[in-house]
Chain A
Amino acid sequence: DTEVTQTPKHLVMGMTNKKSLKCEQHMGHRAMYWYKQKAKKPPELMFVYSYEKLSINESVPSRFSPECPNSSLLNLHLHALQPEDSALYLCASSLMTDSYEQYFGPGTRLTVT
């Protein structure tokens, strides 16, 4: 089973709202990732968790706050977003970081109004 699940599939939020995106995998992977993807662009890496610890933050604004409650779950907390943050947010996991294949979830399509 190479499934990564993400909820919700779609999210519309105002600039003053607080919301969370959720990601789950049961493949025993120890690395999990958040990506942001705009239309016709490749995914941009935001955060990497390795063994439930944040190992990479690609200079992401603090209005995005990741959390890894356990080895299977990854959350992305959103607060005071801007319209330009509207994008597809993808979660991925891999056995470990670096040289391992990543498996992506279907993404959450976020619209900030």
Chain B
Amino acid sequence: RKEVEQDPGPFNVPEGATVAFNCTYSNSASQSFFWYRQDCRKEPKLLMSVYSSGNEDGRFTAQLNRASQYISLLIRDSKLSDSATYLCVVTGGYSSASKIIFGSGTRLSIRP
């Protein structure tokens, strides 16, 4: 089993729709969780950190479910500009050494 798994998609949804995707992780000792977006041939950009209490930033909501070991990202009222690959990142683990794991990414395509 991969340490961090994402549905690769692509998710193809109409503008204005709500879309959600999950990211599961295998290490229960993981400490921090993030969502990044990456446009084609660009660098990943931090979208939001995921806190235990969940967090919301405009149209974006991130949740953490430690019991089931997954994080989620919900995008409401999707825009054409939301088309990108969404990467989840999980950090921390059993040892004190940094452990940074990227998911393989979920491709999202918003159609007019």
CA of A24 to CA of B44 in the docked complex: distance in angstroms? 17
Query: B45 interface residue, CB < 8 Å from A?
Result: yes
When distances are taken between beta carbons in the complex, the residues of chain A under 8 Å from B104 are 41-42
Query: B32 interface residue, CB < 8 Å from A?
Result: yes
Name the interface size band of chain A.
20 to 34
B34 interface neighbour in A31, A98, A101, A106, Cβ under 8 Å: A101
Query: A97 interface residue, CB < 8 Å from B?
Result: yes
57-113 of chain A: CB within 8 A of chain B: 88, 90, 97-107
Given A55-B98, A105-B43, A98 contacting B49 (CB threshold 8 A): no
Interface centre among A41, A100, A102, A105 (most CB of B within 10 A): A102
Distance (Å) between the CB of B62 and the closest chain A CB?
Answer: 13
B103 interface neighbour in A33, A42, A102, A105, Cβ under 8 Å: A42
When distances are taken between beta carbons in the complex, the residues of chain B under 8 Å from A8 are none
A43 interface neighbour in B44, B45, B91, B98, Cβ under 8 Å: B44
Smallest CB gap from A43: residue in B: B102
Given A42-B103, A98-B92, A104 contacting B44 (CB threshold 8 A): yes
A42 interface neighbour in B34, B41, B92, B102, Cβ under 8 Å: B102
Could you pull out 13 A-B pairs where Cβ atoms are within 8 angstroms?
Answer: A31-B98, A41-B104, A42-B104, A43-B102, A44-B102, A99-B31, A99-B92, A101-B46, A101-B49, A103-B46, A104-B45, A106-B43, A107-B43
Which A residues fall within an 8 A CB radius of B?
Answer: 31, 33, 41-45, 48, 50, 55-56, 88, 90, 97-107
